[in-house]
Amino acid sequence: MKRTITMLFVSAACLIAQPVGVGIKGGVPLTDLFSAAGNTVGSTASTILNTSTDRFIIGPMIELRLPAGFAIEGDALYSRANLTAGVTQNSTGAVISSVVDTNSWEFPIVLKKKFRGASLIAASVKPYIEAGASFRRLSGIGSLPSFLTGNQNGSVDTNNTGFVAGGGVEIKVLFLRVAPEIRFTRWGSENFLGGLANIFKTNRNQGQFLVGLYF
């Protein structure tokens, strides 16, 4: 019993003793949140779609450094996108339109493996690879009308889960670590149905260029 308690205290002490880094991560998206086939003109109606993704990503990060060059990183990344859609009835000229601003929060958790050189200078520059899972929450898309999403009740799934993989370089300068990286996410499913002639959907393939600044 005493041995078990001692082992528990030793294990807890080892976990507490692991270095923890905190900081901020920012960057730019390399792909758009929304994917649209473009404008269409039909016999009864014309559809106009305009989508854009704001070119920024920002959020806090935390890293738990483990032995043998391994680390676990967790982020909370914020980005934005917007959609303007309109349908014009050719016979009556009536217009149905919708403007939606979408806030995206991503919570990736990745396992990292860092590689270091033999010399002192090389040891401060560590290439790394990473892989894990990401959880995303989209706000705003729940207000998209059914004429656009194809959902008869207008409801959408605002949550998604995806697989994350990437790589970068960690550069240590005094107490600060700078880590530029490329990250790819493959989301598991669509957030809603394709809509009119399947011309509108969320992009399941996501690329990001990110830079972490942490201690």
- Token pair 């993704």 is at which residue? 53
| Gap between the Cα atoms of 132 and 83, Å rounded | 30
**pLDDT reading at 11 higher than 80:** no
104-121 pLDDT, tens per residue?
999 999 999 999 876 666
CATH number at residue 185: 2.40.160
Using only C-alpha atoms, the chain has a radius of gyration, in whole angstroms, of: 23
Question: Among 63-77, 78-92, 158-172, where is mean pLDDT lowest?
Answer: 78-92
Reported as a pLDDT band with limits 50, 70 and 90, residue 158 is confident
Whether 130 maps to a domain, the answer reads yes
Reported as a pLDDT band with limits 50, 70 and 90, residue 10 is very low
Name the token pair of 198. 């399947």
pLDDT cut 90: percent of the chain above it: 52
**pLDDT reading at 95 higher than 70:** no
Quote the domain boundaries for residue 181: 19-208
12-29 pLDDT, tens per residue?
444 444 599 999 999 999
Reported as a pLDDT band with limits 50, 70 and 90, residue 35 is confident
Question: Among 89-93, 131-135, 136-140, where is mean pLDDT lowest?
Answer: 89-93
Whether 176 maps to a domain, the answer reads yes
Tell me the one-letter amino acid at 96: I
Q: Which of 204, 197, 201, 214 is nearest to 47 (CA)?
A: 197
Whether 13 maps to a domain, the answer reads no
Whether 214 maps to a domain, the answer reads no
Average pLDDT in the chain: 81
**pLDDT reading at 37 higher than 80:** no
Reported as a pLDDT band with limits 50, 70 and 90, residue 147 is low
- The continuous run of DSSP H or E covering 181 comes out as strand 176-187
Whether 98 maps to a domain, the answer reads yes
- The continuous run of DSSP H or E covering 111 comes out as strand 95-114
Whether 1 maps to a domain, the answer reads no
**pLDDT reading at 87 higher than 70:** no
- Total domains in the chain come to 1
Whether 213 maps to a domain, the answer reads no
Across the range 120-148, mean pLDDT stands at: 83
- The continuous run of DSSP H or E covering 26 comes out as strand 20-29
Across the range 147-176, mean pLDDT stands at: 82
- Helix, strand or coil, per DSSP, at residue 24: strand
| Gap between the Cα atoms of 21 and 101, Å rounded | 33
